A and B are shown apart, each in its own frame.
Chain A
Amino acid sequence: MTEQRLLDIQGLKVHFRTDDGWVRAVDGVDIGVDRGETVCVVGESGCGKTVTAKSVLKLIDMPPGKIAAGKILWQGRDIVPMRAAEMRAIRSKEIGFIFQEPMTSLNPVYTVGYQIAETVRQHEGLSKRAATDRAAEMLRLVNIPNPAKRVHDYPHQFSGGMRQRVVIAMALACNPKLIIADEPTTALDVTIQAGILDLLNEMKERLGMAVLLITHAMGVVAETAQRVVVMYAGQVVEEAPVAPLFARPLHPYTQGLIRSIPRLDLAATEHKRLEAIPGAVPSLLDPPRGCRFAARCRYAIPECTAAPPPLRELGAGHFAACIRAEEIAEGRAQPAGVAA
């Protein structure tokens, strides 16, 4: 890496204390985002992607959470040891955050204008009126009709999709260099999802910021990402530019994710049922020693459970953490039946 990355997460470990012990929600994750780039983090529920995203702005509750190890370099500066005041200067001003639930991520007792203006007033010291004007401007930017009037409306007067637009406007208000979007479309209707994704892409083009998009929908990945990070059970299992990832997925988990994308054509013509990955995510209280996916993997061999597989570069910028990645990609690997 010659150029300094915008965001560089190195070996991040985030643990949560529970009554049963420490849950290792994120266990050694490396993710980098360059300027102007869109990186997607995919994985099923509970794989640690949201925790990773929230850790970047230190939005996880500490306690019970704890950043146990690793660095989060923001333009070369590690934010992990930062004090609260330094952290606040980065939140929204440099890194904007879009939340999953538009229905609950806005405060019901303040107007949307106030809530957008709050960000601007904090970081740019604008007067109340100037900030409200900026809020209206932001609402126009995210295509909310009649923005000058709607700034004075409360969140409950907006639909879910419109609220998500408000949340995006809020995240964009200070023109941050990076937007972290945590499943921004999961809670929305399919038709509205497309609109929100288009808006995100459009904003990214227009404002030239980088996007770290957390999602579990492969369709969203295909539509937006330049680079993809696949997470499983708190670890990165594969990382690649978007085209090679879909063309030649190396990790069996990624293959499973791609196979589980619903396809209307196959469902209608061949009556094919959707393929699911059998089994469930292992407990992060006491994760297996070797490959964490081995128990669900059809290619698993005894060696898989012996030691954690390293993340190896197997193509240009294409990394995978699977000891049989080459065989599997070339179709030489035979499903091994049950894991040892």
Chain B
Amino acid sequence: MTQYLIRRLLIAIPSILGISVILFAVLALAPGDPFEELATNPAIPPEVRQNLRASLGLDDPIHVRYFAWLTSMLRGDWGFSFVSRIPVDDLILQRLPTTIAVIGASQVLAICIAIPIGVFAATRPYSIFDQIANTLAFVGFSLPTFFTGLLLILLFSIHLDWLPFVYRTQLDSTGWQWWWDQVRQSIMPVTVLGLFQGAALVRFVRSAVLDVIRLDYVTTARAKGIPESAVTLRHIVRNAMIPVVTLLALQMPAVFGGAIVTEQIFRVPGIGSLLISAVLANDTPVIMAVTFVFACLVILFNLIADILYGWLDPRISYR
């Protein structure tokens, strides 16, 4: 197992390097100049701008720039944001906890909704409950988050004025009040993301359970005379969770991606909104770093999925 892990991590190195090359090349080829604003500023002579570019190495050939980036990355130097002049790693670390909190809470919500409903619906296929759950799930994942998000803001923040519609990292309150404010401002983004994820997951859990429910070993379990609840939990759900957990782990990077939109709507100062503002400002070091972090997350969650898979299914062995 340890050996397998080490080997998988070693295999990850070339893929991460490959990803970084592609990202770097794409960003280098993309149009746009971080010093565009300086160009339109009459107070700054073109020579100064030229010197600035040269001092930052922007005019070097692409491979030189790539290796410069790579070596400083390896030394732990992620560079500075062109716009805010703050070290990129600080920026990311500042934003990451918010994103993780929002995404984590929404995933927990999605799982808590999807698994019980999916299992319950699948054990009573085509019942009224199943039909309703299916319809709602369809509605849920057909509605994009930017639409439901705006709808919620309109209803709860504007019409009813119950919830704040801007997410703030610095809350003035302390103690219990701080927690309460935190919950109040998180409700909408978490609900929007969680319900959207949960809706798709309900369908997946339902079909996974339906696949298992007809299998012979479920009848075997029933023939043992154990209660129906034990048949469902021990024999059906346990087996149905194998593909579900794998899907959840593999989906995590996509969830981060989906959160970008939601963060933008609710003004959540997370890593997603950092990426968007960086893209709009041509802030190459930040774009590079954030996309690179996303790429690493993809690889990490793939590895987690494989490990979970082997842990859930004894037929899989690590070799």
Chain B residue numbers with a CB within 8 Å of A158 are none
Contacting pair B315 A154 (CB below 8 A): yes
B-binding segment of A105-113, A204-212, A213-221, A267-275 = A105-113
Closest residue of B by beta carbon distance from A173: B224
Chain A residue numbers with a CB within 8 Å of B45 are none
Indicate with 1 or 0, residue by residue over B189-229, a CB within 8 angstroms of chain A CB atoms.
00000000000000000000000000111011111111110
Contacting pair B217 A105 (CB below 8 A): yes
Whether A170 sits at the interface, judged by CB under 8 Å, is yes
In the assembly, what is the distance between CA of A156 and CA of B223, in Å?
A: 21
- Given A59-B219, A104-B215, A104-B217, A109 and B224 contact (CB-CB distance below 8 Å): no
Closest residue of B by beta carbon distance from A94: B225
Whether A93 sits at the interface, judged by CB under 8 Å, is yes
B-binding segment of A18-26, A30-38, A84-92, A321-329 = A84-92
Chain B residue numbers with a CB within 8 Å of A88 are 225-227
Contacting pair A91 B224 (CB below 8 A): yes
Indicate with 1 or 0, residue by residue over A139-156, a CB within 8 angstroms of chain B CB atoms.
000000000000000101
Q: How distant is B232 from chain A, measured CB to nearest CB, in Å?
A: 13
Interface residues of A in 20-78 (CB under 8 A from B): 54, 57, 59
Closest residue of A by beta carbon distance from B212: A107
Contacting pair B235 A107 (CB below 8 A): yes
Q: How distant is B201 from chain A, measured CB to nearest CB, in Å?
A: 21
In the assembly, what is the distance between CA of A164 and CA of B216, in Å?
A: 13
Closest residue of A by beta carbon distance from B314: A154
Chain B residue numbers with a CB within 8 Å of A99 are 216, 219-220, 223
Q: How distant is A252 from chain B, measured CB to nearest CB, in Å?
A: 35
Residue in B215, B216, B315 whose Cβ sees the most chain A Cβ within 10 Å: B216
Chain B residue numbers with a CB within 8 Å of A123 are 225
- Given A107-B239, A109-B313, A154-B315, A101 and B225 contact (CB-CB distance below 8 Å): no
Contacting pair A106 B220 (CB below 8 A): yes
Contacting pair B217 A118 (CB below 8 A): no
- Given A88-B227, A122-B225, A105 and B239 contact (CB-CB distance below 8 Å): no
Partner of B225, one of A54, A89, A105: A89
Indicate with 1 or 0, residue by residue over B216-251, a CB within 8 angstroms of chain A CB atoms.
110111111111100000110011001000000000
- Given A109-B313, A109-B314, A156-B315, A118 and B220 contact (CB-CB distance below 8 Å): no
In the assembly, what is the distance between CA of A54 and CA of B216, in Å?
A: 12
In the assembly, what is the distance between CA of A67 and CA of B314, in Å?
A: 39
Chain B residue numbers with a CB within 8 Å of A167 are 220
- Given A109-B239, A156-B315, A104 and B225 contact (CB-CB distance below 8 Å): no
Contacting pair B222 A107 (CB below 8 A): no
Contacting pair B314 A92 (CB below 8 A): no
Interface residues of B in 76-125 (CB under 8 A from A): none
Partner of A104, one of B216, B222, B227, B313: B216
- Given A107-B239, A109-B238, A109-B314, A92 and B228 contact (CB-CB distance below 8 Å): no
Closest residue of B by beta carbon distance from A89: B225
Whether A119 sits at the interface, judged by CB under 8 Å, is yes
In the assembly, what is the distance between CA of A104 and CA of B239, in Å?
A: 13
Contacting pair B224 A122 (CB below 8 A): yes
Whether A97 sits at the interface, judged by CB under 8 Å, is yes
Chain A residue numbers with a CB within 8 Å of B313 are 108-109
In the assembly, what is the distance between CA of A87 and CA of B215, in Å?
A: 21
Chain B residue numbers with a CB within 8 Å of A90 are 225
In the assembly, what is the distance between CA of A319 and CA of B174, in Å?
A: 88
Contacting pair A109 B312 (CB below 8 A): yes
Q: How distant is A187 from chain B, measured CB to nearest CB, in Å?
A: 11
Closest residue of A by beta carbon distance from B236: A107
Chain B residue numbers with a CB within 8 Å of A57 are 223
Chain A residue numbers with a CB within 8 Å of B222 are 59, 91
Closest residue of B by beta carbon distance from A114: B234
Chain A residue numbers with a CB within 8 Å of B217 are 104-108
In the assembly, what is the distance between CA of A135 and CA of B217, in Å?
A: 18
Partner of A101, one of B216, B223, B234: B216
- Given A106-B217, A156-B314, A59 and B223 contact (CB-CB distance below 8 Å): yes
Partner of B239, one of A93, A108, A154: A108
In the assembly, what is the distance between CA of A154 and CA of B221, in Å?
A: 16
Q: How distant is B241 from chain A, measured CB to nearest CB, in Å?
A: 10
In the assembly, what is the distance between CA of A71 and CA of B239, in Å?
A: 36
Contacting pair B314 A108 (CB below 8 A): yes
Contacting pair B225 A91 (CB below 8 A): yes
In the assembly, what is the distance between CA of A110 and CA of B315, in Å?
A: 10
Chain A residue numbers with a CB within 8 Å of B221 are 107, 118
Chain A residue numbers with a CB within 8 Å of B234 are 110, 118
Chain A residue numbers with a CB within 8 Å of B220 are 97, 99, 105-107, 115, 167, 170
A-B contact pairs, 25 of them (CB 8 A): A59-B222, A88-B227, A91-B223, A91-B224, A91-B225, A93-B225, A104-B215, A104-B216, A104-B217, A105-B216, A105-B217, A105-B219, A107-B221, A108-B239, A108-B314, A108-B315, A109-B239, A109-B242, A109-B312, A118-B234, A119-B224, A119-B225, A122-B225, A122-B226, A154-B314
The 10 closest A-B pairs by CB, nearest first: A91-B225, A104-B216, A97-B223, A88-B225, A107-B217, A105-B216, A119-B224, A154-B314, A92-B225, A92-B224
Taking Cβ atoms with an 8 Å cutoff, the residues of B that contact A are 215-217, 219-228, 234-235, 238-239, 242, 312-315
Taking Cβ atoms with an 8 Å cutoff, the residues of A that contact B are 54, 57, 59, 84, 87-93, 96-97, 99, 101, 104-110, 115, 118-119, 122-123, 154, 156, 167, 170
- Please give 7 more A-B residue pairs, beta carbons under 8 A apart, in addition to A105-B217, A109-B314, A167-B220: A106-B217, A107-B217, A107-B220, A108-B313, A109-B239, A109-B242, A119-B225
